[in-house]
Amino acid sequence: MTRAKPAVIIQAGQPPEDLRVLHDEQPDWFRAVFAILGCPIELVRPFTGETLPEAGSFTSAIITGSWSMVTDREEWSEQTAGWIRQVFSAGARLFGVCYGHQLMAHALGGRVDYHPKGNRHAIQCQPADQEARAQPRHIAAQS
């Protein structure tokens, strides 16, 4: 029997200890979803020097957030940006979260920089429509 190709979690950094104690690490946040889908996963931590997977060896990749800044152009981050360009041009399905989407933008020719007016934060609550409220909830939120 042929083993299914895994999805890959590219962990782009490690949370500070106080957050890890309360909320685990980024890969743990995604494992529950992959478990529901029955999808095998692999974890790669390029910030520790781990080798990124070859194009075609995985079904999709999630690139997590980080406490680093894309604008710092750290060596591991720039190597990961090169990998993004390579696997994206080969047709890989990629999903970036926070740092991950900024790194994808940088890798694919976008400009990532500080906002000229400083930090901007906003939260806007959106009420769920009737259809969304009718959907089953598979993953319980943690408080």
The one-digit pLDDT tens for each residue of the chain (143 residues) are 567 899 999 999 998 899 888 888 888 888 888 888 888 999 999 999 999 999 999 999 999 999 999 999 999 999 999 999 999 999 999 999 999 999 999 999 999 998 888 877 766 666 767 766 666 554 443 33
Sheet containing 93-96: which strands, arranged edge to edge? 41-44, 7-10, 60-63, 93-96
CB 137 within 8 A of CB 111: no
Q: What is the pLDDT of residue 104?
A: 97
Cα–Cα distance list, 116 to 59, 77, 107 (Å): 38, 23, 21
Single pTM value for the model: 0.80
Rounded-to-integer distance, Cα 52 and Cα 46, Å: 7
